[in-house]
């Protein structure tokens, strides 16, 4: 991995979301080496709130965030909504606009800035398909939300 890439928390979250199971090890070992936290999962729904909930639950269960602290959940929530802007492109809505999404997501928490005082940040990457509720009538979509935590 290149040095520039090392600090790119967003790109790493995206690569982690892209990764098939067999490709994950090289990414996660690198994240572990840096003492960064991470988690991933999959969710498909016409209901946007279910996607938000799935990412939140995953981040909590995989201990990327502390579920007891609103501060951390607040940071995560805004990162998720920002990521969903990239997926929905215009209005953060799925079923109400007669569309559905099938997404993989990854959450990475780490220190992307050289200055140690910049502290921890969280990146939420979502990648998958969005489209009509008809098999195959869908195209790819991506989103990334980054926040201080």
Cα–Cα nearest to 101, from 116, 114, 89, 119: 89
Query: Under a CB-based contact definition with an 8 Å cutoff, are residues 36 and 123 in contact?
Result: no
| Using rule CB under 8 A, residue 41 touches its own copies | no
| Using rule CB under 8 A, residue 19 touches its own copies | no
Q: Which of 11, 45, 57, 62 binds its own copies (CB under 8 A)?
A: 11
Q: Which is nearer to its own copies, 28 or 147 (CB)?
A: 147
Site string for its own copies, 52-91 (x = CB under 8 A): xx--x------------xxx-xxx-xx--xx--xxxxxxx
Q: Which of 16, 27, 112, 124 binds its own copies (CB under 8 A)?
A: 112
47 vs 141: CA distance, rounded Å? 16
| Using rule CB under 8 A, residue 34 touches its own copies | no
84-98 burial, b at 16+ Cβ within 10 Å, e below that, comes to beebbeeeeebeeee
Q: Which is nearer to its own copies, 37 or 124 (CB)?
A: 124
Cα–Cα nearest to 119, from 36, 11, 33: 36
18 vs 149: CA distance, rounded Å? 24
9 vs 90: CA distance, rounded Å? 25
In the complex, the residues that contact its own copies under the rule CB under 8 A are 2, 8-11, 14, 18, 20, 47-49, 52-53, 56, 69-71, 73-75, 77-78, 81-82, 85-93, 95-99, 112-113, 115, 117-119, 121, 123, 125, 127, 131-132, 134, 136-149
């Amino acid at each position: 991995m290149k040095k520039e890439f090392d600090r790119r928390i967003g790109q790493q979250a995206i690569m982690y979301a892209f990764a098939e199971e067999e490709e994950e090890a090289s990414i996660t070992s690198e994240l572990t080496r840096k003492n960064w936290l991470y988690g991933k999962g999959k969710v498909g729904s016409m209901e946007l709130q279910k996607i938000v909930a799935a990412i939140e639950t995953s981040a909590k269960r995989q201990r990327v965030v502390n579920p007891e602290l609103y501060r951390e959940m607040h940071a995560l929530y805004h990162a998720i909504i920002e990521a969903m802007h990239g997926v929905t492109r215009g209005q953060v809505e799925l079923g109400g606009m007669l569309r559905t999404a099938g997404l993989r997501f990854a959450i990475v928490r780490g220190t992307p800035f050289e200055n140690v005082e910049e502290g921890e940040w969280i990146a939420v990457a979502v990648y998958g398909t969005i489209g009509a509720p008809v098999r195959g009538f869908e195209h790819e979509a991506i989103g990334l939300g980054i926040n201080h935590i």
